[in-house]
Structure 1
Amino acid sequence: MAVKLILSDIDGTILDDQNRIDSNLKDCIKQLNKKGIPFILASARSPQGMLALAKELQVLDNPIACYNGALVVKDLQENDYTTILSHELDRTEVENIYELLKQRFPQISVNLYSGATWYVEKIDKWVKIEADITKLVPIEADLKNIIVNSEIPIHKLLLIGDTDQITSVLKFFQARFSESAFYLSKDNYMEITNKQVSKEMALRELANFYNLTLSETMTLGDNFNDVPMLDLAGLGVAMENAPAGVKKFAQVVTNSNNQNGVSYAIKKYALKEE
């Protein structure tokens, strides 16, 4: 069946190891636009963390799946966007998680994301590293007060620390909480989102948004958090740089992220170029 929607991971997929965009992707997206095939970005990043990339690729008119699908937005601009889907963390569970972090793991850096806003308690070494990577500036705030007394949606918590500390935190929380999902995005980065959030769910919801069947979708990714969407899509495409455990869930494997693997797959399977 013809591909009518493409959902793609960012890091290690459309970006090479030097964080450069697949050099043929912009031209591919122009051709996809002519065919009415939306190219949708999906990442653990915040809306602001995806803005520059979306601008460069000229996909601001398409939905963008932020926080791995906890927040799907459209018409993303500097200070505004339209919310299509929003899956928030349970506030009571977040309060309990936060209290346990302060009691048992006070050395862990806690980052709270609400919509496009990034909140931290202080600018520690981990926050500085994340700010350098994302080119964003967080707001210093009383996180407990935000969690307990405010009504803003909480889309994601990001916990950063030494690898052994984060491993311990992951095991501790996975055994105690049922309404939230806990997973590693890096060896020392732990993401917490609503349990219903995943790129798989984002794919289901976006297919429904466009009134398409899953067999008409194509996904591209390189890591284990991409496995559900690779397995579910009509055509799941793994990058050559993906681990073997990821590749086995994809129907095909394309070139690596350093060899324009995304544009190669789009040309071959969506645009049907020889």
Structure 2
Amino acid sequence: MVKLIASDMDGTLLSPNLSVSEYNKEAILEAQKQGIEFLVATGRDHTEARPPLEEVGLDCVLITGNGAQAIDKDGEILFTHSIEKVKVKQILSILDSHQLYYELMTTDGVYSSSQPKRLESFTNLIASHVPHITYKMAIAMASAHLTMLKVTFVEDYAEVIEHEKIEILKIITFNEAGQKVLMPIADELRQLDELYITSSYPNNIEINHYQARKGFAVKEVAELKGISMAEVMAIGDNHNDMSMLEVAGVSFAMGNAEPEVKTTAKYLTDTNAENGVGKAIYRVIEENL
């Protein structure tokens, strides 16, 4: 029997308009009513992850930065896996050599070096994933969404990296040409060792400490709660979800998931536009998976 459900956010729990549907919310509440723990495992920073959950009154453990950090319902940090500062400088040197825009996810929130670039990257992401939306509408939607998020803009990342109280949890870089440009750079970064490099969308790569992956983090949280991985359900849509789909006793891929993700998961549910998370949860409850 499932005792813990771990769900990705973007492309999974969230609908294309980046909100939690009423159907998904009710399914989660029903699971919690039956004593099943629910957590979110996302590539987002906790300041970016909480708003859509708070909008519908959901309170749960958050695994953020692809597993770089876990935070309980009371805001207490359960664990952190940050990238060493020396390695951060090496990573940024490589990204700069390819003239890529990137952001730093830290223990002090998200840092960006360019507000226009951040808006452009998020607009392109929305435009490519929301059906029948115009680019102008995507810009408006991205602008409204980004104003709700805590982001610090700096001219030089050096001051962030050198700050003794700030740890770097994840580095995310974007390119609109997609993986044909990013994959060779990812391979170059892997030569640095002790890094975990994955992707949450076709236009990005995400760089973490090698222990910062969703599968490890879900297992760590489950162990803290005395739950075995056979009693864990995981659901996701993209490559950064695969590590938790591989270790969970019950795993679902979204209908909109990448082909490799569908191959990894044991079960398939509907898309994020069709309440796939809620339907998977009800199936788990009804069929006692």
Higher relative contact order (CA 8 A, sep 6+): 2
Residue 103 of structure 2 contacts residue 172 of structure 2 at CA under 8 Å; is this kept in 1? Answer: yes
- The equivalent residue for 1:92 is 86
Shift of 1:149: 4.7
C-alpha distance in 1 between matches for 2:88 and 2:3: 38
Shift of residue 271, structure 1, vs aligned partner: 5.1
Q: Which amino acid aligns with 1:169?
A: I
Provide the C-alpha distance between the structure 2 equivalents of 1:10 and 1:213, rounded to a whole number of angstroms: 23
Is the contact between residue 198 and residue 239 of structure 2 (CA under 8 Å) also seen in structure 1?
Answer: no
Give the aligned residue type for 1:249: T
The 1-side partners of 2:14 and 2:199 are apart by 20
Number of aligned positions between the proteins:
264
* Cα distance change on mapping 1:34 and 1:185 into 2, 3 Å: closer
**1:71-127 deviation line (CA, Å, top 9, x unaligned):** 111236xxxx3111111011111122223333x22x311211112511123334245
CA distance in 2, matches of 1:110, 1:243: 23
Which runs of 5 or more structure 1 residues have no equivalent in the other structure? none
SS class of match (1:265):
helix
CA contact (8 A) 2:66 2:214 kept: yes
| Residue range with higher mean Cα deviation, 90-99 or 19-28 | 19-28
Q: 2:170 aligns with which of 140, 156, 166?
A: 156
Is contact 1:5-1:216 (8 Å) kept?
A: yes
Q: 2: CA distance between counterparts of 1:159 and 1:249? A: 25
Aligned mate of 1:123, from 110, 115, 121: 115
Asked if 1 retains the 8 angstrom alpha-carbon contact of 2:198 and 2:206, the reply is: yes
Distance 2:53 2:104 in 1: 23
How far apart, CA to CA, are the structure 2 residues paired with 1:96 and 1:64?
29
> 3-state DSSP class of the match of 1:242?
coil
Post-superposition CA distance 1:179-203 (Å, at most 9, x none)? 2222222232221110111111112
- Show structure 2 runs of 5+ residues with no match: 123-141
Code of the residue aligned with 1:122 in structure 2: it is S
Distance in 2 separating the partners of 1:252 and 1:230: 10
The reply to whether residue 33 of structure 1 matches residue 32 of structure 2 is yes
Percent identity between the aligned chains? Answer: 27
> Which residue is 1:75 aligned to?
73
Structure 2 length normalisation: TM-score?
Answer: 0.83
| Distance in structure 2 (CA, Å) of the matches to 1:254 and 1:217 | 17
Asked if structure 1 preserves the Cα contact closer than 8 Å seen for 2:108 and 2:166, the reply is: no
- For residues 1-274 of structure 1, the aligned pairs below 5 Å read 2-60=1-59, 62-75=60-73, 81-102=75-96, 104-105=97-98, 107-127=99-119, 129-130=121-122, 132=143, 133-134=145-146, 135-141=148-154, 142-163=156-177, 165-174=181-190, 176-270=191-285, 272=287
Change in 2 beyond 3 A, CA 1:7/1:57: farther
Cα distance, 1:52 vs structure 2: 1.0
TM-score relative to the length of structure 1: 0.87
Q: Which has the higher helix share?
A: 2
Compared CA separation, residues 110 and 261, structure 1 to 2 (3 A): closer
Deviation (angstroms), 1:57 = 4.0
Q: Deviations over 1:2-29 (max 9, x none)?
A: 1100000112212233334233122222
| Structure 2 CA distance for partners of 1:101 and 1:221, relative to 1, 3 Å | closer
* Structure 1 Cα separation of the partners of residues 158 and 69 of structure 2: 22
Task: Determine the C-alpha separation between the residues in 2 that align with 1:269 and 1:101.
Answer: 43
**CA gap 1:211/1:191 in 2 versus in 1, 3 angstroms:** same
* 1:212 Cα deviation from its structure 2 partner: 0.7
